[in-house]
């Protein structure tokens, strides 16, 4: 069996390691595909952000590139009318309950949502869906960092870092639907939980939900 | 929620028993939670922590599952359990207002139990008697129809009276047993 496969992404011929997921192959070759929830080391992606759709020749429907393994002779398109529609809707839904006071956000300028908007020509202030205000209660109990649920996109990267990198298991998802949150056991503050304040969750956060207190403006 | 006298021991022994009958795999988690809840009436934090220890998973994972599924409750059922219907008909007929009235009167929020465990309040989906909307179910066996905020006051009054009566009879039986015990002592 070959260690490498030859694929085509947007007319570019690319040699990719066999078994690799399409998303990472594209990103490694400087082809941008929007993504929030994917973690490279994770064997099976959550595929919950619904942003990394691509079209593959021979497949009837767009697929999430974070779960699609590369195959020999695969022909991939990262943009199409269908893809753009899917990504736009997923993105607008994410933003419909997002706290958009970017100027006060510690991640301003270094935010994955801003990057996606820029790359795909999407607006941060969407009008299609009714805006829902989320809980703004910031948990600033840890010494050096804080968590603002109103800026959280529920990608789950902090949970991955907490489990697999830190090996702690202090945070997880709770509730469901529009009420879904990232929280501790029984919803206590981070300082009261088993959190070791290793700050790996802050490093993992693609937006400004987990942030260093010193980065906070105003 | 403060644990009652002896409840801690009951929780520990229940979880112990459930764990013994479990394969200790993750797929056994939901059935285990169901067994714990059917024994204790709810999922106390202590039970979730002990179960997490037994299955070697983070406790927050169990918390996530318990809050995700409507079938699990984190607060003990009250002596008077009130379920307010939020089916389409009841909702349109002002179920939300009924729920709010109960929240104000019981001084708890939906899904909570009063600290003395006298009242618990929940919202449920359709109960099946939409002609009586808005509907309230008390202790799973008693249905109240056309529940306006005024009727909520009436229901609460009935609870208070029932509870008072019960206390009095309790006191009487206590006194009687004391009396008979005293008389029994005299006769000897």
Residue-wise pLDDT for A95-116, tens only, equals: 999 999 999 999 999 999 999 9
- Residues from chain A that touch B110, judged by Cβ atoms under 8 A, are none
Block residue for tokens 């009396």: B179
Token pair belonging to B94: 């002002």
Interface residue of B29, B57, B67 to substitute, partner A, most A CBs within 10 Å: B67
Residue B178 binned pLDDT confidence (cut-offs 50, 70, 90): confident
CB count in 10 Å sphere of residue B30:
15
Block residue for tokens 């400087």: A30
Q: Is the pLDDT of residue B93 over 90?
A: yes
Model pLDDT, residue B172: 86
Q: Quick one: average pLDDT of B154-181?
A: 89
Average pLDDT along chain A? 94
Residue-wise pLDDT for A60-108, tens only, equals: 999 999 999 999 999 999 999 999 999 999 999 999 999 999 999 999 9
* CA pair distance A10, A81, nearest whole angstrom: 14
Model pLDDT, residue A65: 96
Report the residue from B57, B61, B63 with minimal CB separation from A186: B63
Token pair belonging to A72: 């020999």
- Residues from chain A that touch B71, judged by Cβ atoms under 8 A, are none
Report the residue from A169, A175, A183 with minimal CB separation from B68: A175
Count CA atoms within 13 Å of residue B148 on its CB side. Answer: 1
Q: Give the single-character DSSP code of B6.
A: T
Q: Quick one: average pLDDT of B111-124?
A: 93
The CATH classification number of B7-68 equals 1.10.10
Contact A48, A154 (CB under 8 A): yes
Report the residue from A163, A168, A173 with minimal CB separation from B64: A173
Model pLDDT, residue B24: 87
Instruction: Tell me how close the Cα of B50 comes to any Cα of chain A, in angstroms.
Output: 13
Q: Do B64 and A184 touch (CB under 8 A)?
A: no
Residue ranges of alpha helices (H) inside B93-148 are: 95-106
Interface residue of A147, A171, A185 to substitute, partner B, most B CBs within 10 Å: A185
Report the residue from B45, B57, B63 with minimal CB separation from A174: B63
- If you count residue pairs, one on A and one on B, with CB atoms under 8 Å apart, how many are there? 39
Block residue for tokens 């607060």: B75
* CA pair distance A4, A16, nearest whole angstrom: 5
Q: Quick one: average pLDDT of A116-139?
A: 93
Q: Quick one: average pLDDT of B21-49?
A: 93
Cis peptide before B56 (omega within 30 of 0): no
Listing DSSP states for A118-161 in one string gives HHHT--SS--SS---PPP---B--SSSEEE-GGG-----HHHHI
**Above 0.95 for ipTM, yes or no?**
no
Q: Do B49 and A175 touch (CB under 8 A)?
A: no
Residue A149 binned pLDDT confidence (cut-offs 50, 70, 90): very high
Contact A76, A56 (CB under 8 A): yes
Q: Is the pLDDT of residue B17 over 80?
A: yes
Residue ranges of alpha helices (H) inside chain B are: 7-20, 29-40, 45-55, 59-68, 88-92, 95-106, 149-187
Question: What is the side-by-side order of every strand in the sheet holding A75-77?
Answer: A12-17, A4-9, A75-77, A53-56, A63-64
Q: What residue ranges define each of the domains in chain A, with the CATH number in brackets?
A: 4-79 (3.10.20.740), 91-215 (3.30.70.20)
Q: Do B61 and A170 touch (CB under 8 A)?
A: no
* CA pair distance B63, B83, nearest whole angstrom: 23
Q: Where do the domains of chain B lie?
A: 7-68, 80-176
- Determine contact: B64 vs chain A, CB below 8 A: yes
Q: Is the pLDDT of residue A218 over 60?
A: no
Model pLDDT, residue A217: 60
Domain made up of B80-176: CATH architecture: 3-Layer(aba) Sandwich (3.40)
Model pLDDT, residue B183: 77
Q: Which residues pair with A21 in a beta bridge?
A: A69
Q: Is the pLDDT of residue A156 over 90?
A: yes
């Amino acid at each position: 069996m070959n260690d490498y496969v030859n694929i085509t992404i947007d007319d570019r011929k690319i040699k990719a390691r066999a078994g690799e997921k399409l998303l990472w192959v594209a990103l490694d070759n400087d082809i941008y595909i929007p993504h929030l929830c994917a973690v490279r080391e994770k064997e099976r992606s959550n595929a919950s952000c619904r942003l990394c759709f691509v079209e593959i020749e021979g497949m009837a429907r767009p697929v999430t590139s974070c779960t699609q393994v590369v195959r020999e002779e695969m022909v991939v398109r990262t943009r199409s009318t269908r893809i753009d529609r899917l990504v736009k809707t997923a993105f607008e839904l994410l933003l419909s309950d997002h706290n958009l006071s970017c100027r006060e956000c510690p991640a301003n300028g270094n935010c994955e949502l801003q990057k996606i908007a820029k790359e795909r020509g999407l607006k941060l202030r969407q009008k299609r869906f009714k805006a829902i205000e989320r809980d703004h209660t910031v948990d600033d109990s840890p010494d050096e960092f804080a968590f603002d649920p109103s800026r959280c996109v529920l990608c789950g990267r902090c949970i991955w870092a907490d489990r697999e990198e830190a090996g702690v298991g202090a945070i997880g998802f709770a509730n469901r639907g529009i009420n879904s949150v990232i929280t501790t056991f029984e919803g206590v503050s981070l300082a009261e939980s088993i959190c070791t304040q290793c700050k790996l969750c802050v490093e993992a956060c693609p937006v400004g939900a987990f942030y260093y207190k010193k980065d906070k403006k105003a | 929620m403060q644990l009652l006298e002896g409840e801690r021991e009951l929780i520990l022994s229940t979880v112990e028993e459930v764990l013994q009958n479990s394969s200790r795999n993750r797929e056994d988690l939901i059935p285990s939670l169901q067994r714990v809840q059917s024994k204790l009436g709810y999922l106390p934090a202590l039970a979730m922590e002990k179960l997490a220890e037994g299955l070697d998973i983070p406790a927050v994972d169990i918390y996530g599952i318990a809050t995700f599924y409507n079938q699990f409750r984190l607060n003990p059922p009250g002596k008077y359990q009130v379920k307010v219907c939020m089916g389409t008909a009841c909702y349109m007929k002002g179920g939300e207002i009924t729920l709010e009235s109960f929240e104000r009167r019981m001084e708890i929020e939906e899904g909570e139990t009063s600290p003395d465990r006298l009242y618990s309040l929940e919202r449920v989906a359709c109960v099946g008697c939409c002609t009586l909307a808005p509907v309230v179910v008390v202790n799973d066996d008693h249905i109240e129809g056309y529940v306006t905020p005024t009727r909520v006051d009436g229901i609460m009054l009935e609870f208070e009276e029932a509870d008072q009566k019960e206390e009095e009879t309790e006191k009487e039986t206590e006194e009687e047993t004391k009396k008979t015990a005293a008389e029994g002592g005299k006769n000897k």
